[in-house]
Amino acid sequence: MNLLDEMKKRILIGDGAMGTLLYSYGSDQCFEELNLSQAAHIQQIHRAYIDAGADVIQTNTYGANYHKLERYGLEEKVKEINTAAVKNAKAAANEDTFILGTIGGIRSFRPQSIEINEIKRTFREQLYCLLLEGVDGLLFETYYDFEELATVVEIARKETDIPIIAHISVQEPGVMQNGKPVAEALLELESLGADVVGLNCRQGPFHMIKSLEQVPLPEKAYLSCYPNASLPSYSEGSLQYSNNATYFGEVAPAFRQQGVRLLGGCCGTTPDHVRAFSQALKGLTPVTEKKVEKAEKIVLHAREKDLPEPLPEIVGRRKSVIVELDPPKKLQTDKFIEGAKALGTAGADAVTLADNSLASPRVSNESLGYLIKEQGVRPLVHLTCRDRNLIGLQSHLMGLHTLGLHDILAVTGDPTKVGDFPGAASVYDVSSFELIEMIQQLNNGMSMSGKDLGEKASFTIGAAFNPNVRSVERAVQRLEKKISAGADYFMSQPVFSEEKLIETAEAVKDLGKPVYIGLMPLTSSKNADFLHNEVPGIKLTEQVRDRMAAVSGDREKSYREGLAITKSLIDTALDLFNGIYLITPFMRYEMTAELTRYANEQAAKRGGQERAIY
């Protein structure tokens, strides 16, 4: 008996959630390990679903890959766990029960979290284990990242002829998180060799049916769907789903009308939900025609408004100076506003505002950015991944767009343990790479989940660059990845030697994007020693430290020596870069104002039109 042959004739019922039942029974450890330590328990759950009417069950192997098992110290038991899972399913199955070897997605909503080569290695290891045990088909489920799913389908199709079921997961009806329509994604999976395509997880029946309304019947493949029980609620430290099995029986005919031939359940579903599906569809044949609802074509426009010339265009045609001025740690903001205005008057093209630098709380750079914009100074706000989850990041970006703050530096951010509140949590839902992609999606009018936002944002995206590393070439490779993610230009950590300026210029000359090279005036010998020894990513030459040590204890001489060192670096930098990024130490904006004037004067003497670093 062949799975696909049966699907030609009738609608098959799949099982429901494994983890939901295990958790409800008090098992909160690695669910996949229970294939070894509680085999009877796993078999009991399989039988419960079969008794409820499931024609198809899946092995308890969703997370039985090297990457996920590593969290529990079980990475060396991939083969043992997968082998046991198939044996448990076979022990529970009837003669006419189909067994699917399940492999879950790894990347979730973070496409950059794991390299595709690691995905391939991890997937192959688990795939071979399942194939060796003789499963009736393969189920790839809960894939938010289409690249990952397409990759594993291609690999599996080359390795086996058994049926492949490929499920995507979406956060918004009808569209994946990168904006790809569900219908387009399923069609592409069919072309890659999947025999059954569909949806699972994240959404309940209502939204999944809504997605399927836009999906035509595939020419060769069949449609499947495994909805969640409902939207979960959070109670007493755990997610809880509605006990709504009757509702599943009511909506089962709607899944049939959308062409679904394999119908099971995902998170929150139980044997009762599967029984409801089975009873509602008993004796009904699959549909061979359906009416497809055309998705409303959304045309997004950028808001009609006067936007300033983008910084990458400015630095591409002339010398440009931007200056960082940290928001204050105290509530008094007069000096900050005064400093920002002074920097604007000195000729800074933008004043950049860090986002709680060194993980220490400061006045919100969003609020200060708006205030200095009202004073005629162009703000460039930094945005870290540390302090906000995905919801907070998108909300913050939407707020910046609403306030007309369009220049952003996307950075990962210093971990909280280095700041004033070392016990605070570092969020890091995304890395700087994914944050750049997120901002670029907003520029396309889409949220991180793929939902349209009504209009396009107009952000110019800066990214960080640390040239103070052993291998600048390797650092440049990271920049290339950031360009692929959507970065428009780069701002570097401060450099303190002419040799490093020259080395950096050579390394980025073929990058294709502008670089604002970072320079920061030193204020004292102690300041120099602190930066050199205690601040990550900054190293000073012995010559610079000796020069500052020679004027140690004299505030005025230290001030002048710090300026002299930086002016010398500016002279060299202007021959190599179009962009100068000055970093203000300790709110001493008079130093960076003087350096801004100096840089602009020297650029004018040079004619201002040498070459830009791209």
Q: Angle 291-296-297 (CA atoms, 0-180°, nearest 5)?
A: 130
- Dihedral-angle region of residue 486 (phi above 0 means left; psi in -120 to 50 means alpha; beta otherwise): left
266 annotated as belonging to a binding site for a ligand: yes
d(CA 459, CA 440): 8
129 annotated as belonging to a binding site for a ligand: no
DSSP, residue by residue, 64-114: -SHHHHGGGT-GGGHHHHHHHHHHHHHHH--TT-EEEEEEE-S-TT-TTSS
The tokens for 56 are 């198809």
Can you count the helices (H) and strands (E) in the chain? Answer: 23, 18
In Å, how far are 179, 311, 438, 444, 489 from 396, measured between CA atoms? 21, 21, 12, 17, 21
Identify each DSSP E strand in 440-503 by its residue range.
Answer: 460-465, 489-494
The tokens for 314 are 């400015």
The tokens for 98 are 């189909």
Per the listing, tokens 């072309």 go with 191
Closest by CA to 527, choosing from 504, 573, 499, 559, is 559
494 contacts 520 by C-beta, under 8 angstroms: yes
- Dihedral-angle region of residue 358 (phi above 0 means left; psi in -120 to 50 means alpha; beta otherwise): left
User: Can you name the residues that pair with 382 across neighbouring β-strands?
Assistant: 409
267 annotated as belonging to a binding site for a ligand: yes
Strand order in the sheet with 222-226: 12-13, 260-263, 222-226, 196-200, 164-168, 137-143, 98-104, 56-58
- Residue positions in the annotated binding site? 201, 266-267
- Residue positions in the annotated binding site for Zn(2+)? 201, 266-267
